[in-house]
Amino acid sequence: MVLLKKINKRSHNFSSKEENILLTLVKDKYARQIECKKTDTNANKCKTEAWLKLAKEFNSYSGEPYRDAQVLRNKFLNMKKKIQKKLF
């Protein structure tokens, strides 16, 4: 039996405009929920809902390709890692 894997097509790179929109939304509206250090069930549910709301708002601002919540989350975490690497 052959297992078929779902192949995700690579999306477009983030433009500087999209990166700025993402950082602005996180900083101004969702930082409190997203950066919460708690990892219990309620906190994780709140974080997931915040990312979904952020994705919806991001896609309404950005006229560029659609980005889902997981892609935006990964991009934000990668941007944080890059900044921390530059500082140290």
pLDDT tier, 18 (very low <50, low <70, confident <90, very high otherwise) = very high
Tell me the pLDDT tens digit for each residue of 2-15. Answer: 556 666 778 889 99
Q: How far apart are CA 1 and CA 63, in angstroms?
A: 43
Q: For residue 81, what are the domain limits? A: 39-88
The pLDDT of residue 21 is 95
Do 34 and 41 touch, CB atoms closer than 8 A? no
2 within a domain of the structure (yes/no) = no
Predicted TM-score (pTM) of the model is 0.83
26 within a domain of the structure (yes/no) = no
Q: Is 25 exposed, middle or buried (0-12, 13-18, 19+ CB in 10 A)?
A: buried
Do 31 and 47 touch, CB atoms closer than 8 A? no
Average pLDDT of the segment spanning 10-25: 92
Q: How far apart are CA 27 and CA 14, in angstroms?
A: 18
In the chain, the percentage of residues whose pLDDT exceeds 90 is 70
How many structural domains are present in the chain?
1
In the chain, the percentage of residues whose pLDDT exceeds 70 is 92
33 within a domain of the structure (yes/no) = no
Do 26 and 77 touch, CB atoms closer than 8 A? no
The pLDDT of residue 63 is 76
Mean pLDDT of the chain: 89
66 within a domain of the structure (yes/no) = yes
